[in-house]
Amino acid sequence: MRQFQPPIRRRDLLAGAAAGTGLLALPAKAPAQGGTKKFDGLTLHVACWSTSYSEFLKNYIPEFEQATGAKVVYETPSFPIYNQRMDIELSTRAAAHDVINVTFIYSGRWVGAGWTTPLDDFIHDPAKTPADFDVGDFIPGTTTAFKDRQGRLHAIPWIADVHMAGCSRYDLFQQAGLKQPDTFDEMATTLNALKAKGGPVPFVAENHYGWTFIPYLHGFGGDVFAHPPDNLHPLLDSPEAVHAADFFSDMLRSYGPDGVLSYTYDQVLQSQKDGKVNYSTSNETFLVQMAAKDSKVAGTCSLSMMPGGPAGRFPDVAAHGWGIPVGSRNKDAAWAFIVWAMSKPLLLRMFRDHGYSSVTRASMIQMPEFRQHSMINGVDVAQLYLDTLKLGDKGYTVYRTVPPYPLVDREIDIAIQTIVSKQMSAKDAMQRAQQNSMKALQRAGVKL
Amino acid sequence: MNSRMLRAWSRLFCAAALLVLVLLPALWLLQMSFRHNAEIMGTNLLFRPTLENYTALWTGDFPASFGHSLLASISATLFSLVIGVPAAYALARWRFRFRQRMMMWILVTRMAPPIAFTIPFFLVFTYTGLIDTILGLAIIYVTFNLALVIWTMKGFFDAVPRSLEEAAWIDGCGVWSGFLRVALPLSAPGLAATGILCFILSWNDFFFALILTRTDAMTAPVAIVNFMQYAGWEWGKIAAAGVLVMLPVLVFTFFVRTYLVRGLMAGGVKE
Amino acid sequence: MIFGTRPATPRPGATAWARQQRHAFIGGLAPALLVLAVVTLGPAIWLVITSLTPWTPTQPGSFDFSAPWQNYQQAFESPEFVHSISVQVELSVVTVALQLLVGLGLALLLDRPSKLLEAIRTGFLIPMVLPPIVVAIIWKVIYTPDISPLHRLAASLGMPFHSLITDASTAIWAIAAADTWEWFPFTMLMVLAALQMVPKEPQEAALIDGAGPAQLFWHVRLPFIRGTLMVAALFRVIDSIKAFPLIYVLTDGGPGGATEVTNYYAFVQTFNFAYWGYGSAIAVLLVAGVFVLSLFVSRTSGGALDE
């Protein structure tokens, strides 16, 4: 992690303010030196899970503190710990946090239960939101998950991650006369060919199967629910679902690394960056890091669209956004923080300083500078990203936004683990997942 | 004679060899903590050691959580001793009808699985604002330390000859001044050992701290788990943090090794 | 009786002294009992109350007592819960048996008056006092194939093996091995303490009769330490019910629930899914189980625990 260098940052800040970019939403109104600042003496508790964006943001927070007078307590626990804690905390409507990350698998649950604050009143209040913040700039596909039934927005997306496919050693593909697979059939033959060639382990996928398996489920013609959000009857034991589970588990078992079931997202990323694993269908934000400076495969990696199956191509979208818990007692300051953190100038600076930031603003993705940067070994990743998001607009990602999805998510995790570790056949495991999901949903008050 | 010597030596050799074997996993973590992250899985034992993992920890949030651990453990220990030791003395000297049953009840409180306490404590702490505070942690650590103090200290007091206190009583001492002048000084080593056991127990806690703390009171064991996160497992840091967390415990164990058995009889050193 | 051991010639005001003494003792005992009651009995009562409701914060109004037994009923009808108990039993039996064997063996090896052996004995205590989270990390290193020294050693010896913690048939054994490593010192210590209490005469008599070491152990020493072994086993069984950090770090209850013990199941239901009422019910069942086992401890140990 880069060290914070106050003098330079301060200069940047002044320059930004001088340019009148609205770098900070509030400083526009914050009086000049000597006067009291808008949030003097106030402590703001901000939490996100630990990922590159949230870690980079840490470096800039002193600027916010300086400009507003608020003290920011910023925490970034690891993903599972963050979710678990935030879920119980929100459920008690505690006032412990003011700004939180609304996690993609939980967005439906948290927004649906009314645990987060609708942001529309803030957005439409010109005193609280400068015009150049421009909520409309956020790509529609990134905000859908954060809308409640009345259409009110509950979080400002800082990321909308999508499924893509990527290989760390495209040179080995080329040597074997292979291309990145476009369909699941091609994927199976390609991985098989790679395996026969030796070299790095052919395939890996993150062990959060309620996320990584779904494009396969959809691709083979299956689905999670009958008609979300209105009819949540689970469909996990359909022949298509069983087939998909069988295929996916077989990929993991036959072509995955030893102990593939324990591979968390960070391990998947690291194993690809080290060139130990070649191909994976994973998150775009992880895959692009194969091209980072500390990667051993920066010169050989390549990305492609998530492969599809007989029913089509269904890469998923996972949006994370900044939201405000209903229990927060500092909602104005919380919103000011969100506006600051998601302001275009700051995101641009983060991008220039770290080569990476949030990718949810259409205007940023369209910038030539950004497009240039997102060319990885000849692949236009920004275009792949936009194309993928466009597919996501078709609506098949709605299943993920229904409140009880975390319950089914867990059943899918267990089912895939059970199949890969050969405790059950795909059919039995998916049947059990179906029964358990039905029970869990009924218990959560869902009418089936 | 010679064959007896031989047998004694081979016994010693066996024991030493087994000890090395048993400690290997821990030693492996130790050597990992001195490696550069790039060669963290190297098996070559002749590597150039580095302190970079430790310095990286020092500049991060880890020292703060280390401090939280110390503070919570020490305050829980002191509190448990202050109220537990007089109770232990009373139970050692005063024979009353339900004494056995009361001792058993005290022991059972110590054996209940932590999850049983965590659920009610989490809710109460959330509503009283004790969540994510050192005070809250110290309170919950009392739940298992108090029983330990009472049981072990009672044992030590039982071993102090009564005649000495009786002499003090005849000299006009009250019960508690006799206790302070006679029984307590004679059990001083036991008191120190008990205090250290309490400290280790609290220090070692992971479950309560995982659920009941966030940032303001996050303890060192929970901080380690936070290194298992984004951008690959930072094994060097995890190893170094692990070594730092086990250090105080190892030092203290060395001091209380002879008393450990008694402490353990009261229900194990850790959760 | 403490009053009986007082000087034979009672001073004037002996009853006053007795009363004064009793008051003093009550004063010493009361704070501790009060605090214990508040921090343990209070939560226990609260736990029982919440276990009678389907309470979950996601559903307002779910804190109701209209069907007080439904959590318990649901638990016993839930294959996951029943499975978690069988996993628990398997883990407890395996770990306790291994810990008894290893602890007994080492105790017999170390049971000689010698300064050096004493030092080694202290060394063997280390796994037990290490913070459990550190133990979990140590074993995570050993069980993660791409950084594990064990995997590499096996591979270089031509006997490579697959990741143990992601294979359903070995995961529980991997946890058991780590748990045994962590806790054998406990049984070792208890057995050592017991061995030192075995009277010398019968041992010497047996030696004179020409008994070998095996016979000496089986017929003379084992009968003396059997009670201690039993108590140690029960203590370990009780503690094994609390197993958490190893499972949390090594397998997270997986693969596919293969290592999800009851404690872990309660944790997931309560803190991952916010089923407070249901989680409370599982916790109550766990406490009941521990309570029954504790009764066994007190029966088995009799006065031994109380010296």
Closest residue in C to B109 (Cα) is C40
Q: Is A432 on the interface with B (CB under 8 A)?
A: no
Inter-residue contact A249 to A416 (CB < 8 Å): yes
Please report the pLDDT score of residue A123 as a whole number: 93
Q: What is the rounded distance in angstroms from the CA atom of residue A32 to the CA atom of residue A49?
A: 34
Chain C positions in Cβ-Cβ contact with residue A93 (cut-off 8 Å): 57
Residue in C123, C141, C266 nearest the CB of B115: C266
User: Hey, CA dihedral for B145, B146, B148, B152, is it positive or negative?
Assistant: positive
Inter-residue contact A4 to A60 (CB < 8 Å): no
Please report the pLDDT score of residue C13 as a whole number: 66
pLDDT interval class at A356 (50, 70, 90)? low
Residue in A88, A261, A415 nearest the CB of C274: A88
Closest residue in C to B265 (Cα) is C305
Residue in B127, B214, B231 nearest the CB of A75: B214
Q: Per-residue pLDDT averaged across B176-193, rounded?
A: 87
> DSSP string of A151-214?
--B--EEEEEEEEEEEES-HHHHHHTT----SBHHHHHHHHHHHHHH-SSEEEE--S-HHHHSH
- For residue A200, how many C-alpha atoms fall within 13 Å in the half-sphere facing its CB? 21
Residue in B214, B225, B228 nearest the CB of A85: B214
Q: Is C12 on the interface with B (CB under 8 A)?
A: no
Chain A positions in Cβ-Cβ contact with residue C74 (cut-off 8 Å): 443
pLDDT interval class at C301 (50, 70, 90)? low
- Residue A280 pairs in a beta bridge with A166, A204
| Residue C59 DSSP class | S
Of A363, A299, A269, A244, the C-alpha closest to A50 is A269
What burial class does residue A229 get, using C-beta atoms within 10 Å of its C-beta: 0-12 exposed, 13-18 middle, 19+ buried? middle
Q: What is the rounded distance in angstroms from the CA atom of residue B168 to the CA atom of residue A164?
A: 82
Q: Is C286 on the interface with B (CB under 8 A)?
A: yes
**What tens digit of pLDDT does each residue of A85-136 get?**
898 888 888 788 999 999 988 888 899 888 999 999 999 999 999 988 989 9
Q: Is B64 on the interface with A (CB under 8 A)?
A: no
Percent of chain B with pLDDT over 90: 34
CA distance C72 to chain B (A): 15
Please report the pLDDT score of residue A433 as a whole number: 95
CB contact residues (below 8 A), chain B span 116-145, against chain A: 122-123, 126-127, 131-132
Please report the pLDDT score of residue B268 as a whole number: 40
Chain A positions in Cβ-Cβ contact with residue C251 (cut-off 8 Å): 262
Q: Is the pLDDT of residue A28 over 80?
A: no
Task: Copy the structure tokens of residue B99.
Answer: 């004494």
Question: Best interface-test mutation with A: which of C80, C142, C166 has the largest number of A CBs within 10 A?
Answer: C166
For residue C251, is it left (φ>0), alpha (ψ between -120 and 50) or beta? alpha
Buried b (16+ CB within 10 A) or exposed e, A361-400: bbebbeeeebeebbebeebebbebbbebbebbeeebbbbb
**What tens digit of pLDDT does each residue of B78-135 get?**
999 999 999 999 999 888 888 888 888 887 787 888 898 888 998 888 888 898 899 9
Contact A259 C162 (CB under 8 A): yes
Contact C137 B242 (CB under 8 A): yes
Q: Is B210 on the interface with A (CB under 8 A)?
A: yes
Contact B204 C276 (CB under 8 A): no
Chain C positions in Cβ-Cβ contact with residue A423 (cut-off 8 Å): 168, 255-256, 258
Question: Best interface-test mutation with A: which of B130, B214, B233 has the largest number of A CBs within 10 A?
Answer: B214
Contact B16 C120 (CB under 8 A): yes
Q: Per-residue pLDDT averaged across A5-11, rounded?
A: 37
What burial class does residue C95 get, using C-beta atoms within 10 Å of its C-beta: 0-12 exposed, 13-18 middle, 19+ buried? buried
Q: Is A80 on the interface with B (CB under 8 A)?
A: no
Q: Is the pLDDT of residue A294 over 60?
A: yes
Chain C positions in Cβ-Cβ contact with residue B176 (cut-off 8 Å): 24, 28
Contact C166 A262 (CB under 8 A): yes
If one compares A118 and B238, the residue with the highest pLDDT of the two is: A118
Rg (CA), chain C: 25
CA distance C219 to chain B (A): 22
**What tens digit of pLDDT does each residue of C252-288 get?**
887 888 999 999 999 999 988 888 999 999 999 999 9
**What tens digit of pLDDT does each residue of A163-181 get?**
999 999 999 999 999 999 9
Asked if the peptide bond before residue A118 counts as cis, ω within 30 degrees of 0, the response is: no
| Residue A282 DSSP class | E
Please report the pLDDT score of residue A251 as a whole number: 96
Chains that touch B (3 or more CB pairs under 8 A): A, C
Q: What is the pTM of this model?
A: 0.85
| Beta strand residue intervals within chain C, DSSP E | none
Residue with tokens 């934000």: A285
> DSSP string of C243-273?
--HHHHHHTTT-STTTT--HHHHHHIIIIIT
Please report the pLDDT score of residue B264 as a whole number: 54
Task: Copy the structure tokens of residue A203.
Answer: 């395939």
**Chain mean position to CA A322:** 12
Backbone phi, then psi, for C192, in 5-degree steps?
-60, -45
Q: ipTM, 2 decimals?
A: 0.89
**What tens digit of pLDDT does each residue of C76-125 get?**
998 889 999 999 999 999 999 999 999 999 999 998 888 888 889 889 98
Residue with tokens 């009819």: A231
Contact C146 A92 (CB under 8 A): no
* Highest-pLDDT range among B256-260, C64-68, C74-78, C226-230: C74-78
Residue in B43, B238, B271 nearest the CB of C242: B271
pLDDT interval class at B232 (50, 70, 90)? low
Please report the pLDDT score of residue A26 as a whole number: 44
